[in-house]
Structure 1
């Protein structure tokens, strides 16, 4: 399995590691620039995101015990074993192979007992990511996104960013889908929305979050369920993350996401996290990359605290 961490940089400076070094690891980070391009053969608009996210953390990586007020704790908890596996060797010319590689890598991390954290790539990347959790069901997926992503196909393609949640709904191990942040105009049509509702999706538009906060969303998450969080950066307002392909005004704010992550962690076990649709070339002064990397730090903290709690509950060997 080919991986590459550019010039030795890792997210938050955590150790780089190969698949063979996953024993005892709590969280394994990896990047995937490509899955299924919506324009066949053309590189993803978000292909540079994994390296930009890693770069954005280098200035704080020298002291991971600094206090993070968004976590109410250290930037990275002492004793938490986090590794960065680098980027998968994907190509816009090989969508089938890309999907297989992302799924196999995710499954191998899960099998090793770690939580996979994926740095995308565009919003086709989560489809094979979800597929790698077949052994973990039943699962709840919480998606944060401006768009519905329920097209069955677009231009004859069924695995691009227009179909992410439709494909997730077809996976038998996905029991519940909660979608947050919808607004504006996307690629979906009225019958796609009807199909999502008929399947049983819980939809919380950006306007509903502004009116009612995140508590109604959290109420839909079954206590002690297993949860994957998938975050499309256009789910946030472009004032927070301007560097996306299709900016839509009126999105969630950074602290909405922080509150949502902490709330999910208090109710459910987070078994996977991905962040996609960050377009560094369209960013403004690096502010969007910074916000996205901060969200990843909070997600790592939430997962890390859960892993520590699980270790403490395990009976001690005599």
Structure 2
């Protein structure tokens, strides 16, 4: 199916929708090509990612009943009501407007009782995405990323991809931050790391994941909490997703992410998901876009499992078969 707003394929062929018609959806997908460019006025290096992700799923969407071993179920779970709004009309020269649009769209999806799923865009897009949860907290943020993202500002800018988690830490509705995958050299300084730890952020380096697996991360997520999962593609090893701006060796494996998503989905309530920092122009043989699209598919499956279980509990409480 194509989206009439931008004449592109929808993700996994789910129905296209408009922002004012999502009240019957379980999950609402939308793209944000730009938020706050780190080079003012210049399009994001990841602006083409939402379209590339949708296009990558066009062929498999032709038969959504095929078995998906990463989900242990059909490609599109039975009963999942997912829609795709297409890309928001962001513009690299209007960062304030971009942020407002991302936040208001997220909030409108939450008010409709659905789970927002954002396709970025660079790692500045999660800042307004999380801001949209004001009034819908408290939330735990689980971030997969090679970098710390705790810079207060960079070149005078406070909402770019260097400051994602610093800005998140200032949102009162965020009660916990769990960061996974740090490695190599990024833009952080010693004081940024000290501030992250002083705030109470829990850090699991890529080396710790390699040594202990993802179960300690899952155990760190409070049972029953409202959790937003944010995946920066450079959190994975570049042999899995080479399509990133700053590749760093030694990242997480695809199956680490699959196991982590399933574990979190069984322990907490996933109330939001985003995937950012995918750079299609830097891809090799389409491998990065493929892996990233599969991660989004698994996230959809985990959310579908939770929604199905919640509906079953509600039916049981009401005495319905």
In the superposition, the TM-score normalised over structure 1's length comes to 0.98
Question: What residue in structure 2 maps to residue 214 of structure 1?
Answer: 214
1:301 and 1:177 map into 2 onto residues whose CA distance is 24
Q: Cα distance 1:20–1:195, how it changes in 2: closer, same or farther (>3 A)?
A: same
Query: Does the 8 A contact of 1:103 with 1:131 survive in 2?
Result: yes
Q: 2:52 is paired with a residue of what secondary structure?
A: helix
1:161 and 1:29 map into 2 onto residues whose CA distance is 21
Question: What residue in structure 2 maps to residue 264 of structure 1?
Answer: 264
Query: Does the 8 A contact of 1:4 with 1:87 survive in 2?
Result: no
2:6 and 2:99 map into 1 onto residues whose CA distance is 22
Question: What residue in structure 2 maps to residue 33 of structure 1?
Answer: 33
2:140 and 2:53 map into 1 onto residues whose CA distance is 26
Query: Does the 8 A contact of 1:6 with 1:51 survive in 2?
Result: no
What is the Cα deviation at residue 5 of structure 1?
4.7
Q: 1:61 is paired with a residue of what secondary structure?
A: helix
Structure 1 residues not aligned, in runs of 5+:
none
Q: 1:135 is paired with a residue of what secondary structure?
A: coil
RMSD: 1.1
Query: Does the 8 A contact of 2:141 with 2:229 survive in 1?
Result: yes
1:292 and 1:75 map into 2 onto residues whose CA distance is 15
Q: Cα distance 1:317–1:6, how it changes in 2: closer, same or farther (>3 A)?
A: farther
Query: Does the 8 A contact of 2:183 with 2:250 survive in 1?
Result: yes
Question: What residue in structure 1 maps to residue 69 of structure 2?
Answer: 69
Query: Per-residue displacement from partner, 1:233-254 (whole Å, max 9, x unpaired)?
Result: 0000000000100000000000
Q: 1:289 is paired with a residue of what secondary structure?
A: helix
What is the Cα deviation at residue 316 of structure 1?
3.5
Question: What residue in structure 2 maps to residue 244 of structure 1?
Answer: 244
Q: 2:51 is paired with a residue of what secondary structure?
A: helix
What is the Cα deviation at residue 138 of structure 1?
1.0
Query: Does the 8 A contact of 2:8 with 2:51 survive in 1?
Result: no
Question: What residue in structure 2 maps to residue 185 of structure 1?
Answer: 185
Q: 2:62 is paired with a residue of what secondary structure?
A: coil
Where do 1:75-224 residues align within 5 Å? Answer: 75-224=75-224
What is the Cα deviation at residue 8 of structure 1?
4.0
1:106 and 1:137 map into 2 onto residues whose CA distance is 13
Aligned length: 316
What is the Cα deviation at residue 219 of structure 1?
1.3
Q: Which runs of 4+ in 1 moved over 4 A?
A: none
Question: What residue in structure 2 maps to residue 316 of structure 1?
Answer: 318
Where do 1:3-18 residues align within 5 Å? Answer: 5-18=5-18
